[in-house]
Amino acid sequence: MPSIIGLHIWSLKKTTTATGYSTAYSRIFPSVLKSLMMMLELDYTTTFHNLFLENTITYTAVYIILILYVILMPFLLMNLLIGLAVGDIESIQKNAGLKRLTMQVTSHTSIERMLPKRLLRRFNKETYRVFPNEKGKCSSSIMKQSQLSNYDKFQNIEISADKIDWEMRKQNQRLKSIQSMMESQQEMIRMITQKMEICTEDDFVDEGENFTECMGTDLSNGENQVKRWKSFVEKKVKK
């Protein structure tokens, strides 16, 4: 838009000053730049253009800053306006919702005013009586069926849980009985070894004796051990 305005003014060259035609519109580029500065409300002619023609400007970097300002400022302003618009959307939505409710209320009230009073008295009731235990209604039957189905599900779950608990207790009892039997057998084996005077390798290690000395026994000692074993077993059977 500024470029169109600048080109139009440059083509007409109707803008004049006290000394004649304005030098800002003598060429295409200064004309477009002047239009841009007018949109930003800057006096480009006296501040930049005349100083450039007279070659009295102090720093040449001023034009670089001016060009960056002209390029960046529209983007910044546009982003600022978009941010403000996005922030206002939420408040606009709330106001629209409230306005919609008010319009619904006004429409309902206007419709009620148009209806006869007898019809309104029949349908508009201040209190409602509800009988939840009343029989012979479809809703009550549906509710009962749903409750019965839920009760059956919970009952099945409880039965399965009881079965699992009973099996666990049974397994614990079996484990305890097996443990007691193993302990009794271990005690019996220990007593048999003591009665038969059987030497073990652990005993020799503890007492510091040689295992080969005990293994080199006579046949008579073996027969005596067999007799002792038979007498011990007979005593246990009698008990």
Each residue's pLDDT tens digit in the chain (239 positions)?
Answer: 555 555 545 554 544 444 444 555 556 666 666 666 665 555 666 666 666 667 766 666 777 777 787 778 778 888 888 877 777 787 888 888 889 999 999 998 888 888 888 877 777 777 777 776 666 555 556 666 666 666 667 677 777 788 888 888 888 888 988 988 888 888 888 888 777 766 555 554 444 444 444 444 444 555 565 566 666 656 655 55
Tokens encoding 178: 């097996």
Grouping H, G, I as helix, E, B as strand and the rest as coil, residue 16 is: strand
Contact between residue 5 and residue 31 where contact means Cβ atoms under 8 Å apart: no
Contact 234/194 with Cβ under 8 angstroms?
no
Could you tell me which of 66, 63, 43 has the C-alpha nearest to residue 52?
63
Neighbouring C-alpha atoms within 13 Å toward the C-beta of 105: 6
Its pTM stands at 0.25
48 CB neighbour count, 10 Å cutoff: 20
Rounded to whole angstroms, how far apart are CA atoms 65 and 77?
18
The alpha carbon of residue 198 and the mean position of all alpha carbons in its chain are separated, in whole angstroms, by: 71
